[in-house]
Each structure stands twice: as C-alpha cells, then as structure tokens.
Amino acid sequence: MWPESLRPRRHVAQGQVHQGVGSKIDMIGVGILTVSDTAARGGRADLSGAAIREMVGSVGGEVVAYQVVPDEADQIAGVLRQWADERGLDLILTTGGTGLSPRDVTPEATRTVLEREIPGMAEAMRAAGLKNTPRAMLSRALAGTRGRSLIVNLPGSPKGVRESLGAILDVLPHALEILQARPTDH
C-alpha cells in the first residue's frame, strides 16, 4: 500500500514511460526505494520518500514505483535490477543506508547493480551537504547507470534528501537525455 504522500497521481503502464529513441523525455518515470529496517517494519513514516516525490515533479518526474525494504543488500539489489531491467524506469532514487552503520549497505548493493558509476554526481551531493554540516563527508552514496536507467543513492533524512537531490536535480533531465540517446543541446 502506498502512503498518501507517495501515491502515484496517475497510472503509467509499462512501456509508457519511454517515448522511444530520438525523442525528448516528456515524463521521467521515477522509482523511489526507501531502505530502512524501521520503515520496513512499519515503525516510522517514510518522510524521505515524500521529500523525493515533492522534488522530482519540478523536472518532469512522476513516481511510478515505490517500495520500502529493510537494510538487506540482496533485497535492495533485487529491486534495483527489476526496476531497471524489467520496468525500464528512467530514474531510480534510493533513500537511506548510505552512512557508516554496520546495517548501511545501500552503496554496496547498488555497486553490484551498476554498469557505470557517475562519481561527479555523488561528489556534488557531498559538496552541497558540506555547506551545511561536516557530517556530509560520511556519506557513501553512489550514482551510476544500468542500461538506460540512472540510479542515485540519497541520504535517509528529509534534510539530507533535499540537500543532495537539490544539488543534482537540474542536471537529471540532461543526463537522462544523453543516457537514453535523445536529442540534446550540449
């Protein structure tokens, strides 16, 4: 069941997200994967996922997939593969599990799925966070691609999501146009 704040605004069937090679992206199909033992048990609301949903709309993103999983590498990697390979989502954003706790395994799970890393995105997110707190340097978040999907790890707090996603938000449509071989001005 989708929390009200993450419920899709309209149903997008598989195949309707992408408009075909050579066309601009009309809508960015977004998946939000919240990684949290507590949220997976129903012990807290997913405020970070809600923050992502609020922000992606400003660049044409629409949440078409949402899931909460515990901090288990195999479950995280499984969802990332399914969303990239089977659902063909344009943008997959994870939230949570990027810190130093022994249970924080999102970067490790993501690395097993990525075909190519995009270190500049992760560096930009950390740099933005460092403007507000020295703790941002403890983030191990990754960004990269699998097929035609862009996958980005975000922190698990709403504030961290806003700072990190805010640092890369404006470049996401351009990155997807290049990744998906669509016409672009660059």
Give strand pairing partners of 154. 95
Pairwise pLDDT comparison (97 vs 4), residue with the higher score: 97
| Domain membership flag for residue 11 | no
- Residues 35-57 have a mean pLDDT of 96
Q: Give residue 165's domain range.
A: 25-179
Query: Using CA atoms, how far apart are residues 51 and 73, in angstroms rounded to an integer?
Result: 23
Identify whether 2 is part of a domain. no
Q: CA 69 to CA 96: how far, in whole Å?
A: 10
pLDDT at 144: 98
Torsion of the alpha carbons at 6, 7, 13 and 17, rounded to the nearest 10: -30
Residue 1: inside a domain: no
Please name the residues in contact with 78: beta carbons below 8 A apart, sequence gap of 6 or more.
Answer: none
According to the model, what pLDDT value does residue 132 have?
A: 94
pLDDT of 98 above 50? yes
Q: How confident is the model at residue 182 (pLDDT cuts 50, 70, 90)?
A: confident
Report the pLDDT value the prediction gives residue 26, as an integer from 0 to 100: 73
Q: If pLDDT is split at 50, 70 and 90, which confidence band does 173 have? A: very high
Q: Say what the pLDDT of residue 152 is.
A: 98
In this structure, which amino acid lies at residue 54?
Answer: E
User: Residue 12: pLDDT above 60?
Assistant: no
Distances in Å between the alpha carbon of 76 and those of 70, 81, 183? 8, 9, 32
Q: Is residue 18 part of a domain?
A: no
| Total domain count, the chain | 1
The residues near 54 (Cβ < 8 Å, ≥ 6 apart) are none
Three-state DSSP class for residue 105 = coil
Residue 6 within any structural domain of the chain:
no
Residue 83 pLDDT level (bands cut at 50, 70, 90): very high
Residue 15 in domain: no
Place of tokens 């975000």: 154
Whether residue 100 is contained in a domain is answered as yes
Q: How do residues 108-164 score in pLDDT, each as one tens digit?
A: 999 999 999 999 999 999 999 999 999 999 999 999 999 999 999 999 999 999 999
> Has residue 133 been placed in a domain?
yes
Q: Against a cut of 0.85, is the pTM above it?
A: yes
- CATH code, domain carrying 75: 3.40.980.10
